[in-house]
Structure 1
C-alpha cells in the first residue's frame, strides 16, 4: 500500500507543478486551487507512504527523481521547454542514484 501512496503523491506533485507552470507563476488565479490542492495532496500521500513503513530515504529519493523526470518530459511535451541530451543523461543519473539507494536499503533489511 505504501507504493500506491507514493505513486499517487508523485502524480499529485507533478500535476501541481504543471499547474503552477500553466498559471504563469500564479498570475492566472484560476490555477491556484490545482496548485495548492496538488501540493497538499502530495505531502499527505507521502506521509501515508511513510506511515505504512516505507523508508524516508527511499520514498523521498523516488519521489524527487520521478518528479524531476516526469516534470521535464511533460514540460517538453506541454510547454515546449527544452529537454536536451545532457538533461536526459542527468535524469538517467538521478534514476541510477535512486536505484542504488533502494538497493542499499534492501541490503540492510
Structure 2
C-alpha cells in the first residue's frame, strides 16, 4: 500500500474517531467510545506507515491535520447541525491553501 493510501486511511480513521468523540457524550455511550479508541489507534498506525514509507513528516502531518480539520468541520455542519459562517469557511480555505503550499514547497 502506498504512502498516500495509508495517509487517506489515517485521515478517515481520525475523522471517524473525532466525530465519534462528540457522539460518545463524554465516553458515556459504549459504541461511539469504541470507535474513538479504535479510530485513533488506526489513525496513528497508518500515519506511522506513511512516515516509514518515506513521506516527509511536515507534508504528511500538514495534509493529515488540514484534511481532518476540513472534514470534521464538514461533518459537523452537514450531520451535527453545527453553525457555519463566512469567517469559518475562509479559515478552512486558508488551512487547505497552506497545505497546498507546503506540498508544493516540498517538491522544490
Gapped regions of structure 1 (runs ≥ 5): none
Aligned-residue Cα RMSD (Å) equals 0.8
Q: Distance in 2 between matches of 1:83 and 1:72?
A: 9
Structure 1 residue matching 2:25: 3-state secondary structure: coil
TM-score by length of 1: 0.95
- Matched length: 107
The aligned runs of 1:1-109 (5 Å cut-off) are 1-107=2-108
Q: 2 CA distance for matches of 1:87 and 1:25?
A: 25
d(CA) in 1 for partners of 2:5, 2:36: 21
Q: How far, CA to CA, are the matches of 1:68 and 1:59 in structure 2?
A: 14
State how far apart, in whole Å, the 2-side matches of 1:12 and 1:93 are.
23
Contact 1:73 1:83 in 2 (8 A): no
